[in-house]
Amino acid sequence: MYTIMRSIILLCLTFSFFCCSQKNQYGTKKAPVINKYQQKYSITTFPIVTTKDTTSINEIRFFTIKSCADTHKMMYENYGLWTNKLDSEYLTHSFPRLVWSDLDLFGDGQLFSVITDGKESKDAYFASLIIVGSDNKDCLHKNYPNREKIIQLLSKKLFENNFSINQSFYQILRTQS
C-alpha cells in the first residue's frame, strides 16, 4: 500500500512539473526577464508566412499587466490614435491588433512602426509589442543597435501606464470598431 501511494504522489508531482513549465507557442522554453521597472517580459520569435516567403519577427511579451490591452492603452495615451487595425494574432479576445506608423519614439527624427497585441487565456496572459524601424528592420532582433533603448523606453511607459485610471481608450476603441 505504501509503495502504491508513493508511486501516485511521484506521478502527480511529475505531471505538475511538466504542466507548469513555461513554453512559448513553438515549444521552446523562455526565461522571462525582469527589468528595472519590475516589468516581467520575454522576447519571442515567430514566423510570418506570406504568399512568396516565410520570415520571422520578434515580439516582446509583457507579463506584469492588468489586461492584454495594456500595450494598446499605453500606446494610445502616449502617441494618440492608431493608424490601422488588424486581426489579432491570438484571436482569443475581442481586441484587434493596433498599428501606430511613423512614430518618432525618441525625438531624434528616427521613425518606427509599433504593433500592439496580447493574449488572455488559461494558458497565457500577456500584452505584446512588435517594433519595426523605418528601414523595415526588426527592432527587437538581438543585433538591432537600439534594441535595449527601445525596450527600456516602452517598459517605462507601460509601467507608468499601470497607474493610469484613464478609461477613454476603451471608449474610443469601441467607437472605432
Domain boundaries, the chain: 31-176
Residue 127 in contact with residue 114, Cβ under 8 Å? no
The pTM assigned to this predicted structure is 0.75
Residue 148 in contact with residue 131, Cβ under 8 Å? no
Dist. CA 120–CA 75, nearest whole Å: 19
Specify the pLDDT at position 38: 59
Grid coordinates representing 30 are: 523562455
Is residue 47 classed exposed, middle or buried when 0-12, 13-18 and 19+ CB atoms within 10 A define those classes? exposed
Choice among 5-9, 56-60, 107-111, 163-167 with the minimum mean pLDDT: 5-9
From edge to edge, which strands make up the β-sheet containing 112-120?
Answer: 33-34, 40-49, 54-62, 125-133, 112-120, 97-103, 84-86
Dist. CA 167–CA 177, nearest whole Å: 16
Instruction: Give the model confidence (pLDDT) of 42-101 as tens digits.
Output: 999 988 877 888 889 999 999 988 888 999 999 999 999 999 998 887 766 667 899 999
Closest CA to 30 of 41, 46, 16: 41
Dist. CA 168–CA 121, nearest whole Å: 25
